[in-house]
Chains A and B, each alone.
Chain A
Amino acid sequence: MAKPAPLDLRRRYDVVVVGGGPAGLGAAVGARDAGAEHVLVVDREPEAGGILQQCIHHGFGLHHFKEELTGPEYAQRFLAQVTERGVDVLTDAYVLDVDRDRRVALLSQDHALAPVDAGAVVLAMGARERTREAVRIPGSRPAGVMTAGFAQKLVNVAGYLPGKRVAILGSGDIGLIMARRLILEGVEVVGVFELMPHANGLSRNVVQCLHDFDVPLHLSTTVVRVHGRDRVDRITVAPVDEALRPVLSRAWDVACDTLLVSIGLIPDNELARHLGVRLDPVTTGPVVDSTMQTSRDGVFACGNTVHIHDLVDMVSQESYLAGSAAGGFVTGRHTPADNVRLTPGANVRYTVPTTISTDREHTVYLRVQKPMTDCVLRLGDVHAKPLRYVVPAEMVTLKVRPRFLEAFHGGTLTVSVETREPASTKGAAA
């Protein structure tokens, strides 16, 4: 591939977007559409597109484009929109630091020169995978224990295989997708071991990636030991009791040369922390208001850096909003400040955003703590939405329309998910 001529980098941009994954690209589009003239996207990889570039499977864009695309195709659509709008995309470049005056220090082999000044900044650094260390599996530390996303990169980007006989810890989506991918590559997948009594990935992935390929899914089971000196040679797995403690008397060994760990993602937030943006201890991402603005004026955030999404379509929706708010911030468009605080109530881990405004429509994203069926999502006592089921693996969205809040004067609304009381009609008027 011929290297494109180095970008003619400006010293000042209206909006600088950190990270060129779907969130960053969506934000750049939003910012241009909202009138920001000069927009820069910086990405560390040689090509923008973020994690999507290694997701060569189908399943992206059903909501946003109403068709089923691969990850790279989805990224391509956004790259085209970004190019169309004259956004500068600087790849192979790393944002070292954003300071309180929104000066962006970036390192790139062609531009390791001066910092770039930004009218507004959008943080879209994505997430990293939780590792073996995060769940502390005892045993030895041989080669062959790796995250599912790293294995995905090995197979889909680099063209190598992680091993011959693979066990998977955790039923996160990436692990499920990798189970199928590896089987198609002729690798033996001996099983998926999940601590919880339910799968952690999307139901469609459990069916299409495991059931269709006869890969056993062991629920309420975990890996309690890794064996092997140089390379993994087996693992010990054990069922867990209700308190999630392994029952070692019922442990058994599984021969394998690879253990893929697929136990979730965590927002990547070194930059935000350094910048002194307020972080939410539950999501570990920045606390954002209804315009995706962080606790620092002119600094916005979106995508997996704020909270983990299961569908890229939601990332695009959220990041377009963040980008247009950043554009509005630099063009001086006035948006009424938020006047309602949302607090997580029963069976709700968190909400994004944490505040909303009574004057316009919002999409509120939330995750539940535990699965429930026949339940109702309540927004204080102003609105209730019946839900057939909820699971922690699937993000729940709630459209909050101004009419719900017509008669509301409170200031705080509790968001909760409760089992539906049989004969109650209270609030279920939506």
Chain B
Amino acid sequence: MRYDVAIVGAGVIGCAIARELSRSLATVALIERDVEVGLGTSKANSGIIHGGHRAHDGTLKAATEWRGNQLWGELAKELPFGFERVGDLTVAFDEADLAVLHETLEQGRRRGVTGLELWDAERLRREEPNLSHEAIAALHAPSAGVVNPYEACFALAESAVRNGVDLKLEHAVEGIDRDGDGFVVRTSRGDVAARFVVNAAGLFGDAVARMAGASAPTIRARKGEEYLLDKRLAGYVGRVVFPTPSGESKGILLIPTYDGTLMVGPTAHWTADHGADTTDLDTTAAGAAEVFAGARRLAPGIAEADCIAEFAGLRAVADGEDFVIGATEVAGFLNVIGIQSPGLTAAPAIAQDVVALLAAQGLELEPDDAFVPGLEAPVRAAQLDFEELARVARGDPAFGRIACRCERVTEGEVRAAIARGARTMDGVKFRTRAGMGRCQGGFCAWRVMSLIAEATDTPIPAVTKKGGGSWIARVRTDAAERSDAPDAPDGTREVAHG
């Protein structure tokens, strides 16, 4: 069959576009190289839905940020993912900063951002007593929020699939050939024919454009390191806190994540090899030093000793720093690339714009009357009280068995996550929080691995952390040679044929 639209890349941008298109009868293939959606930059970021006032006038960022912000509120009503408008503060330490805050305030107001307000030092101290007493003022944007970005990707993709989109995972796009008025997308798992191709390949956006013979700016990777702090500091600040920006970077922030953990970061540095095709997701001692110094400037009580986890993400930066969204000289091939920050915020607005661009190029968009906007929320045992949980467990005993004790995740939740698409340890972790707690999976990893193996009929050595070569366990030296290898004690029998 020939699809109306093939989307290359299932990050938050590809997923949002697919979901938006699934409102119509257009046929859509969402093509992703990884084993699950959203495991690239879209899971490794600050998770902030920006207030809408910050992007510079005249950019595509500014044209999509505030609209995206508003659309997240609507999406959160339809789909199950963590989202809360906690608000943000931009803190000024001197008169020069204060002047910038005034400009940002005006810029936001012009754009229609609601609720912006300047706070004096006294108000700031009252609202956020843990912030530095050297702050002289702050700009408050109640519109800003925090989201669990991976949950948002999973929900967008799942909703798209429910509404007819074909999700093609582990399909790496290797070539794109013209075919009549459309394209044949060559993937590692066969060809996909489509009339239109949308390039949402993130860091590989320029490479994918080249495959189609379309021009694209070079994409470079700017790394951001983030550090999560112990639960002990939950509630230390109530809002996302920014320093007054200087230049492109937003600086080091304090981020009260949706789950209540305080996160500090991100840095912003080109990766060592400068290229987008980088494997450099390293956190570094220098990065940590920069982040904690920056965080302490905002809130002096923050210390590196409280760090419990860290990660890095890569911004896909196009020359000129702006988003690149639109038609190319190859008719029917659209670029949606260079989506760096605030790309997460802008995603739902970008999706609407891309659908409009496709319509302008001749895609028919007949509404799908059977479109279902909602998705049922997964059970979260940790959020239920005893009676509620007991009721669920009576219905399905798997909800009566705890798999992850730190985050109190039941086996039923792990099974449900797998049924909804989790294939890897990270996929289960980011859907259920199993393994995200203090023991970082030490207790539950074996149980989760066994559940994935069992539910997906995969041998244990083929269960991975995040796809590809990220195997976790291998068969015993002797078992590999014997055909009568003993069953694992829990009854899984993969030993022999691993």
Contact = CB atoms under 8 A, between A and B. Distances in A.
Given A142-B465, A270-B406, A129 B442 contact: yes
A263 B68 CA distance: 45
Given A131-B439, A163-B474, A186-B477, A139 B282 contact: yes
Given A44-B402, A112-B393, A128-B438, A157 B489 contact: yes
B471 A113 contact: no
B308 A133 contact: yes
Interface residues of A, number: 51
B476 A107 contact: no
Nearest to A147: B442
A112 B390 contact: yes
A268 B490 CA distance: 25
B94 to A, nearest CB: 33
A143 B465 contact: yes
Contact of A108 (B304, B386, B400, B450): B400
B282 A160 contact: no
A96 B386 contact: yes
A159 B443 contact: no
Nearest to A47: B489
Contacts, number: 147
B468 A136 contact: no
B311 A141 contact: yes
B282 A113 contact: no
Contacts of A186: 477-478
A359 B23 CA distance: 79
Given A107-B393, A112-B400, A159 B311 contact: no
Interface in A285-299: none
Contact of A160 (B281, B285, B443, B460): B460
A68 interface: no
Contacts of A144: 472
Contacts of B490: 158
A94 interface: yes
Contacts of B461: 160
B402 A160 contact: no
Given A44-B405, A113-B390, A231 B438 contact: no
B288 to A, nearest CB: 7
Contact of A161 (B389, B402, B473): B473
B469 interface: yes
Contacts of B467: 230
A408 B174 CA distance: 83
A140 B438 CA distance: 19
A427 interface: no
Given A109-B401, A150-B442, A160-B461, A136 B307 contact: yes
Contacts of A131: 439-440, 442
A138 B402 contact: no
B456 interface: no
Contacts of B442: 128-129, 131, 146-147, 149-150
A141 B304 CA distance: 19
A325 B465 CA distance: 46
Interface string A93-106: 01011000000010
Interface in A117-141: 128-129, 131-134, 136, 138-141
A153 B444 CA distance: 11
Contact of A159 (B445, B464, B488): B488
B420 interface: no
Interface string B402-414: 1001101010000
B284 interface: yes
Most-contacted residue by chain B among A92, A139, A163 (CB, 10 A): A139
Interface string B182-203: 0000000000000000000000
Nearest to B307: A136
Contacts of B471: 143, 231
B325 to A, nearest CB: 29
B460 A158 contact: yes
B42 to A, nearest CB: 16
B394 interface: yes
A278 B34 CA distance: 47
Contacts of B476: 159-161, 185
B277 to A, nearest CB: 12
A96 B405 CA distance: 9
B474 A231 contact: no
15 contacts: A94-B402, A97-B386, A109-B397, A112-B390, A115-B386, A131-B439, A136-B304, A147-B442, A158-B473, A159-B476, A160-B474, A161-B476, A185-B476, A229-B469, A270-B406
Interface of A: 44, 92, 94, 96-97, 105, 107-110, 112-113, 115, 128-129, 131-134, 136, 138-144, 146-147, 149-150, 153-154, 157-164, 185-187, 224-225, 229-231, 268, 270
Interface of B: 279, 281-285, 287-288, 304, 307-311, 386, 389-390, 393-394, 397-398, 400-402, 405-406, 408, 410, 425, 438-443, 445-446, 450, 460-461, 464-479, 486, 488-490, 495
Given A141-B281, A186-B478, 11 more contacts: A109-B400, A110-B400, A112-B390, A112-B400, A131-B442, A133-B440, A143-B425, A160-B495, A162-B474, A163-B474, A225-B282
